[in-house]
Amino acid sequence: MKKQAFNPYLPLKEYVPDGEPYVFEGRVYIYGSHDEARGEVYCPGHYVTWSTPVDDLTDWRYEGVIYRRDQDPSNAADQMQLWAPDVAKGQDGRYYLYYCFSFYPEIGVAVSDSPAGPFEFYGHIHYPEQTNNGEILREYLPFDPGVLTDDDGRVYLYYGFAPAETNPDYPIVPSPGSMVVELEADMVTVKEDPKVLVPGAANSKGTGFEGHAFYEASSMRKIGETYYFIYSSELSHELCYATSRYPDREFVYGGTIISNGDIGLNCRERAVNMTGNNHGSIIEINGEWYVFYHRQTHATEASRQGCAERIHILEDGSIPQVEITSCGLNGGALVGKGSYPAAIACHLTGKTDPGMIVFGQNRKAILPYIFEEENGDSIIDNITDGVVFGFKYFELEELEQIRLEVRGKAEGVLWIFTENPADILEEERSEKAVGKTNLSIDSVTWTSVMIAPENAMNGILPIYFLYTGEGRCSVRTVELI
């Protein structure tokens, strides 16, 4: 089988959410925070980065640890986590990494001569000596920094955290929205007082941002003469955008680029995947535009993996919402023959609406989920009655059989569909299924189950599986024959 790109685009053992993609020196670099399998807190790892050639989005290379938590003097005791960062190339040709620790009210900056790092501590965002005595910027919760170096050399910093409701677990004062402040050429000194760029939910009435107001994850891009501000909205699972002719004012709501549950796509209300927080941005690679985002695994919000999808920027500058898929950066459907890890499923739902995962929750008791085992295998676990798992898309040519590696204790029926069975009335499923097999297993080791479609399958199609019956099972691989 030819080399292909999947979602998630990094190896299944890697967890780099909050991805900010950039093209530097002929390679695509991804900068993000660093979760871990079976994580219980956000971002416990040091910053790492991966890169790939712009002409081969399958060839991701691990660049190693680029910045450690304890390099910042404020975290010398290594008691806080490095949250979502951003990177900009300065006018001096060096690369500047902007970051924050947990909810600590401070933005740090590190610098490197290479986009691949390593980065060294450079300083904290602060006022000039004549303003506030040069104190560190602490207002409006410095959080999720985004940075833009404009064509004229001016540097803008974006940040903020504006939940619609205050969470008692977060004893913080939220910002009124996303904040913006211009920096001096030294990349750390602010020129002016911060101001609101895009409103949060508490301040969105009458602004055009109602229902999709700013929550977190500030990110700025410039396309032509238009500035695109990408952010996570008050709904949390979606990345939205706003546009302006200026980098620091007059932004107008544009729409949703992606939801990690496809909510809102073609008026969809029921998620096709577990939804949780989202963070990412857009990038042009070889003339094509992509959005980078993340998904939740392990039925929590603390083990997130980066994904990407191709997007289209229309002539009027708008970006239609795109669907989540299994093929992401592949440039088209996956080959319709061969074995695939089940963990690249882009659809994973229980019998009832999976709802929203929030920090601190663990929903393993009621939902199916992607899980990394101690031996490094990534699987779909907790498949019970009514669970649907699906993949988009495969280019099929006379597909005659599908083999799944399964284990567990289950007695029921495994169905195949080429449309989402969760959208089909239960009484109509039998006639719309393209195949099925009885599933009867009681095994702690992996065993093969074969399903033969009623007719050979052809064309570019999604493949969905529905389990109905008793018990619980897991799936490790899906092989198309």
Q: Which residues are catalytic?
A: 18, 216
Are 228 and 210 a contacting pair, CB within 8 Å?
no
Residue 317 DSSP label: S
Are 276 and 263 a contacting pair, CB within 8 Å?
no
Q: How far apart are CA 361 and CA 387, in angstroms?
A: 20
Torsion of CA 202, 204, 209, 215, to 10 degrees: -30
**Nearest partner of 72 among 49, 101, 94, 92, judged by Cα:** 101
Residue 466 has, within 13 A of its CA and on its CB side, a CA count of 21
Burial of 250 from C-beta contacts in 10 A (0-12 / 13-18 / 19+): exposed
Q: How far apart are CA 48 and CA 340, in angstroms?
A: 26
Q: How far apart are CA 347 and CA 327, in angstroms?
A: 12
Q: How far apart are CA 259 and CA 324, in angstroms?
A: 8
Give the N- to C-terminal CA distance of the chain in Å, as an integer.
12
Q: Locate tokens 């239960």: which residue?
A: 426
